[in-house]
Amino acid sequence: MAWGMLVLAGLFEVGWAIGLKYTEGFTRLWPSVGTVACMVCSLGLLGVAMKTLPVGTSYAVWVGVGAVGTALLGIWLLGEPANAGRLISLGIVVAGIVGLQLSTPG
């Protein structure tokens, strides 16, 4: 259950990271409201997951899911480059997330 909450927290992190792009410096109301809502959900779910999981693992996985998701959506939505080095590096981050999950009880 804690791992599911942690991954969901990471997905909400993707939401607020991408949302920041659309807020235009928090000058657009609805993108700003959505971004702040994603921030609150992300941090709330991270906090719940940390009740069970170690803080170092939780934070690393949260950041990793957020970073990989944000980079992939940046490629897909914003036309950011998808070169081999970038994709391989994202794969390494995913491997680290999987490694942490396999080596952490909970």
**Mean per-residue pLDDT over the chain, rounded:** 96
98-101 long-range CB contacts below 8 Å, 24 or more apart? 100/57, 100/60, 100/61, 101/3, 101/61
Q: Give 105 or 93, the one with higher predicted confidence.
A: 93
Residue 9 is predicted with a pLDDT of 98
DSSP 23-43: HTTTTSHHHHHHHHHHHHHHH
pLDDT (tens digit per residue) in 52-74? 999 999 999 999 999 999 999 99
User: What does the block give as tokens for 30?
Assistant: 């609805």
The pTM of this model reads: 0.91
105 or 32: whose pLDDT is higher?
Answer: 32
Domain spans of the chain, in order of start:
2-103
Length of the chain: 106
Model pLDDT, residue 102: 94
Residue 98 phi, psi (nearest 5): -65, -40
Contact 93, 67 (CB under 8 A): yes
Is a pLDDT exceeding 80 seen at residue 106? no
pLDDT tens digits for 16-41?
Answer: 999 999 999 999 999 999 999 999 99
